[in-house]
Amino acid sequence: MKLIYLIIQFYFHCKGMCFMVLYRMLYPQLSIGVNVVFKNQPYVFLTNKSSIVLADNVVINSSNFGYHINMYQPCKLMADGNQSKIVIGKNTRVHGSCIHAQKKITIGENCLIAANCQIIDSNAHCLQMKNPENRIHTIDEAREIFIADNVWIGAGTTVLPGTTINHGSVISANSVVKGIVPANCLFGGNPAKLLKQY
C-alpha cells in the first residue's frame, strides 16, 4: 500500500514539474527559485508586462492526493493587469487557491494558504449604484495586497483589495478579510474582525 502511495505521489510531482518547464518556456517573466514544487497542474497566466516571482522552496499544490481537505480547483496564479505582479516568499505553501493580481499581491515567507482561498486585488467592476445598468461595462481600480511572513490563511477565505495582513497572524476558515489585520492575532468571520490578540 505504501508503494502505491509513493507511486501516485511521484506521478503528481512529475506532472507538476513538466508544467513548470512548460510555463517557464511560455512566460519568461515567470521567476522560479530553487526547489519550487508544482504538485499537479496549476493554472498560470501572465500578460506581457506582468510578472510572477516564486522564491525558493515554494509549494504550489493543485493535487487533492494526500491533502487533508478537499480542494475544489487547482491553484490559479494570474497576473493580467498593466505591469501587475505576484510575489510569493520562501517556504510558502499555496493549496488549491486563486491569487489574481491586477496591480500587486505580495505574500511573505513561511506562509500557509489553505485550499479554496481567493486572494484578489480587484473587484473587477465598480459599484455604480446610481447607474447599475452600466456596472457591467466598468473596471474598478486595483489596490495592492500585502501578506507578511508567517501568516496562515484558513480554507475558503477571501482576501479583498487593499488588505494588509501583518506578521504571524492566523485568518480563520471561510473569512472575508478587508483592511489591516494586526500582527500575531487570530482574525476571522464575515466580515472578518479581531478574535484574539497574542
* Residues annotated catalytic, as ranges: 125
Q: Which residue has the cell 491533502?
A: 67
Radius of gyration of the chain (CA): 17
Provide the residue type at 30 as one letter. L
Evaluate whether 160 touches 144 at the Cβ level (below 8 Å): no
Nearest to 56 by CA among 101, 22, 103, 93: 93
The Cα 164–Cα 189 span in angstroms is: 16
